[in-house]
A and B are shown apart, each in its own frame.
Chain A
């Protein structure tokens, strides 16, 4: 991980301002097109091991994503950032900008924090797209003022192509995971680096990974295919546990993974138009409120198309969005004869996965029994 931080630092030293983006789906292409380096601040457990700084600001019932985000910005690592961008992704995140501002202020530091509102209603509703378009225009102006950069439609189109390629490669790589040519653990690792290393570097890595595993053949017949769902992927130790129990992750509905790369909008030089489509047709996510009606069908087809026999929910403790949808989806899966297992990860569980072993083993036995 330190090498990744070094890459970001080096990029910054070359004059590219680094913008830390709050999860989940910030407008990365737009920032990139303006010559900024967007870094999405999630899956940070490997960088900040504990959260002493964030503990001074957040009660223990804030989720681990929020706690790690605050920690990294307030820690020495925060020095790699030139600014922050947040949007209204959830109730917890909306409280963080001012908390971070104070935390930085107490250290005598300051960062521009851009707050973006993405309409949480269907794009067809009066004013929704117009509101978003105006907000995107304002975002361009705010970035120009804060970081001394400029927008051009050509560069924006170019950035869309790069991100489009990255997302297509990730979809391809996920398909290779499904075929059994790459382990999900390795896939998760590669995907995670993409949020930090930048799109160009990530595209290079992905091309290599796709070429490498296209040639590999893995005998997956002895394993039972499953899908995982959640905000973050299961931590490596848990993936190992899952695999040791004879299960194999063949597809995912994880926010940092398929929910992020599942859809690429058609090219559009206008940020308002591009992002209206981006959020409207985005792979459904519990956090994108207007996608709620599509989510259930999407998960069901994912299970069906991947041939999965079960689904493991990696619940982020205190993430209400996810918790409010689990029971319904569990019920529908049950009706279709698909077993599911819900595991809830608290901040410390990322290192203590052994506690989940018995439940995963029992789930694997259940699936094996149903063969």
Chain B
């Protein structure tokens, strides 16, 4: 957590320092293992990385996470431009453009020197199908095999039939990695990894609960930053340990009366991916207005099933089936009704005053439905809401003044509502 002490001063917390180390070490370790002969897999974020723990030496990289990091470090636009120069449309998801720009320029300008070349690409159409086409770009360019995991979109809770279908694909994936890498697979190691992930999610939820406190013990920017290792360190004991520290530290700060936005007058919710290029600028400008963006659909759904914000625990049974069942444990793969249910629960339990819908042309799956969600939130939750335009990773598609004009209009609506 990049915490702010009471009074607004920024200071790096222990969990913040630890997070920086985890991320830096994670990428160094990835490159080292790749150099030493590990079988390298590139995955979409919703591909269950716990499966790779079942092998002796499979290292995985998450291009979406690398793209978010690049955007956060201010090199998103330059990488996007490289992809555009190669003919990739500026209308494509900026994660894809950052990744393609980085990969085809040998990792130049990347905060992590890019990612080591993969032996296998594993995409998943659950978050989005664009990702499958994005990985196909590398398949064609590098001749690397591409394994697609097909997940039926969830308009409602996942059916048993769908769980079985997804689990069968994981078994295919395991066979494919065995065949390509010559490594043996051990399901018990996956079971262990799933336990670690579940422990981590429990602590993650405890950390997020700090948002319900008044004033909130966290900002959404803390959860955006802290979610990074969920993508890159799933299935490890270090992840659970990190989130335990984070949750303890956050609860400790609340007990001591230290809050990130001490004079919190407006508690807002964010709907969409983090605006990675704006984390610092947006958080300080909002804090100056007495606004705390306390939570986001992007982070509160992690670890939960469709339409819920509660943890979905692991019962120790078949880990592949569990991993299939939690395919929808983040928000993108959820239909309108489910997303609304989760949002209503978040608004109710966290005492949200208003919602900022970040309409993001890069991410159609997340954004197309927001107009209806906005309508439902205002009508059915009685909470004012506003829509602003933000691309999550391409800073060129964001106007700070335009966004803040709308956010200020939202604050006025909240004031009017309070005045009765």
Binding site for B on A (CB under 8 A): 56-59, 61-62, 66, 88, 90-92, 94-99, 102, 115, 117, 119-121, 125-128, 131, 134, 286, 289-290, 292, 296, 315, 317-318, 320-321, 323-328, 330-331, 344
Other than A128-B150, A323-B89, A324-B92, give 5 A-B pairs with Cβ distance below 8 A: A95-B368, A98-B337, A289-B125, A325-B133, A328-B137
User: Contact flags (1/0) for B138-172 with A, using CB distance below 8 Å?
Assistant: 01110000001110110100000100110011011
With A120-B150, A321-B133, A323-B91 as given contacts, are A94 and B365 in contact (CB-CB < 8 Å)?
yes
A interface: dominant SS:
helix
In this assembly, does B361 line the interface, its C-beta being within 8 Å of a C-beta of chain A? yes
B93 interface contact, C-beta 8 A: yes
Least distance between A329 CB and chain B CB atoms (Å): 10
Number of B interface residues, CB 8 Å?
48
Q: Indicate if the CB atoms of B371 and A59 lie closer than 8 Å.
A: yes
List of A residues within 8 angstroms of B370 by Cβ: 59
Min CB–CB distance A290 → chain B (angstroms): 7
| Minimum CB–CB distance for B353 against chain A, Å | 24
Cβ–Cβ contact A120 & B155, under 8 A: no
A286 touches B155 (CB 8 A): no
B335 within 8 A of A: yes
B335 to chain A, nearest CB (A): 5
The number of residue pairs between A and B whose CB atoms lie closer than 8 Å in the complex comes to: 133
Query: B369 to A324, Cβ gap below 8 A?
Result: no
Q: How far is the CB of B152 from chain A (nearest CB, A)?
A: 4
Contact A328 B140 (CB under 8 A): yes
Q: Contact: A324 with B148, CB < 8 Å?
A: no
Q: Are A323 and B132 in contact, with the CB atoms below 8 A?
A: no
Q: What separation, in Å, do the CA atoms of A292 and B89 have in the docked complex?
A: 19
Partner of B86, one of A66, A126, A327: A327
What is the CA–CA distance of A127 and B173 in the complex, to the nearest angstrom?
13
Pair B365/A290 contact, Cβ less than 8 Å: no
A99 to B132, CA, bound (A): 25
Residues in B116-150 with C-beta less than 8 Å from chain A: 125, 128-130, 132-134, 136-137, 139-141, 148-150
Q: Which chain B positions have C-beta within 8 A of A61?
A: 91, 361, 364, 367-368
Q: Is B88 part of the contact surface with A, judged by Cβ < 8 Å? A: yes
Given A121-B148, A286-B133, do A326 and B87 touch, yes or no (CB 8 Å)?
Answer: yes
B356 nearest CB across to chain A (Å) = 15
B161 touches A120 (CB 8 A): no
CA distance A286 to B365 in the complex (A): 18
Report which residue of B92, B336, B337, B372 has the largest number of chain A beta carbons within 10 angstroms of its beta carbon: B372
B102 is an interface residue with CB less than 8 A from chain A: no
Query: Chain A contacts of B134 at CB under 8 A?
Result: 324
| CA gap between A92 and B365 in the complex, in Å | 6
* B96 adjacent to chain A (CB < 8 Å): yes
Complex-state Cα separation, A115 to B152, whole angstroms: 10
Known contacts: A120-B129, A120-B148. The answer to whether A324 contacts B368 by CB under 8 A is no
Please name 25 pairs of A and B residues whose Cβ atoms are closer than 8 Å in the assembled complex, sorted by A. Answer: A59-B370, A61-B364, A62-B368, A94-B153, A95-B335, A95-B365, A98-B336, A99-B368, A102-B336, A120-B125, A120-B132, A120-B148, A121-B148, A121-B149, A125-B169, A126-B169, A289-B125, A289-B148, A290-B148, A296-B140, A318-B361, A324-B92, A324-B134, A328-B140, A344-B89
By a CB distance below 8 angstroms, the chain A residues around B308 are: none
Does B110 interact with chain A (Cβ within 8 Å)? no
Known interface pairs A92-B368, A289-B132, A318-B364; A134-B153 also in contact (CB < 8 Å):
no
Which residues on B sit within 8 Å (CB–CB) of A289? 125, 129, 132-133, 148
- Known contacts A99-B336, A321-B129, A327-B86; A117 and B153 CB within 8 A of each other: yes
Contact, CB under 8 Å: A59 / B368? yes
Which residues on the B side are within 8 Å of A57 (C-beta)?
Answer: 371-372
B359 on interface, CB distance cutoff 8 Å: yes
Chain A, residue nearest B149 (CB): A121
Q: Are A324 and B91 in contact (CB under 8 A)?
A: no
Nearest CB of B to A241, in Å? 22
Q: Is the CB of A323 within 8 A of B88?
A: yes
* CB-defined contacts of B336 to chain A, threshold 8 Å: 95, 98-99, 102
B150 and A119: CB pair below 8 A? yes
Chain B residue nearest to A286 (CB atoms) is B133
Whether A320 pairs with B93 at a CB distance below 8 angstroms is yes
Q: Is the beta-carbon distance between A117 and B152 smaller than 8 angstroms?
A: yes
- Say yes or no: B172 contacts A125, CB within 8 Å: yes
In Å, the complex CA distance between A116 and B329 comes to 22
Q: In the complex the two chains form, what is the Cα distance from A95 to B375 in whole Å? A: 16
CA distance A98 to B149 in the complex (A): 24
Complex Cα–Cα for A142 and B87 (A) = 44
Which of A99, A117, A126, A325 contacts B171 (CB under 8 A)? Answer: A126
Q: Measured between C-beta atoms, what is the minimum distance from B377 to chain A in Å?
A: 13
- A342: nearest chain-B partner, CB-CB: B87
- In this complex, what residue of B is CB-closest to A119? B150
Query: Is there an interface contact between A59 and B359, defined as CB atoms closer than 8 Å?
Result: yes
**Are A330 and B365 within 8 A (Cβ)?**
no
Which B residues touch A66, using CB under 8 A? 368
A117 neighbours in B (Cβ, 8 Å): 152-153
Contact call A320/B88, Cβ cutoff below 8 A: no
Given A58-B368, A59-B370, A289-B125, A320-B91 contact (CB < 8 Å): yes
Please give the distance in Å from B26's CB to the nearest CB on chain A.
Answer: 28
Option from B130, B168, B337, B364 in Cβ contact (under 8 Å) with A324: B130
Contacts of B87 in A (CB 8 A): 326-327, 330-331
Binary flags per residue of B357-398, CB closer than 8 Å to A gives 1, else 0? 001010011011111100110000000000000000000000
Given contacts A88-B152, A92-B364, A120-B150, contact A102 B168 (CB under 8 A): no
CA distance A92 to B141 in the complex (A): 27
- Contact call A324/B129, Cβ cutoff below 8 A: no
B164: min CB distance to chain A, Å = 8
Q: Do A62 and B89 touch across chains, with their CB atoms under 8 A apart?
A: no
Asked if A59 and B92 make an inter-chain contact with CB atoms under 8 angstroms apart, the answer reads no
Complex Cα distance A120/B152, Å?
9
Instruction: Given A61-B367, A125-B169, answer yes or no on A323-B155 (Cβ-Cβ < 8 Å).
Output: no
State the Cβ distance, B284 to closest chain A Cβ, in Å. Answer: 28
Which of chain B's residues 71-87 have a Cβ closer than 8 Å to chain A?
86-87
B153 x A99 contact (CB < 8 A): no
Query: Which residues of A lie under 8 Å from residue B89 when comparing CB positions?
Result: 315, 323, 326, 344
CB distance from A171 to the nearest CB of B (A): 27
Shortest A230–chain B CB gap in Å is 14
In chain B, what residue has the closest Cβ to A292? B136
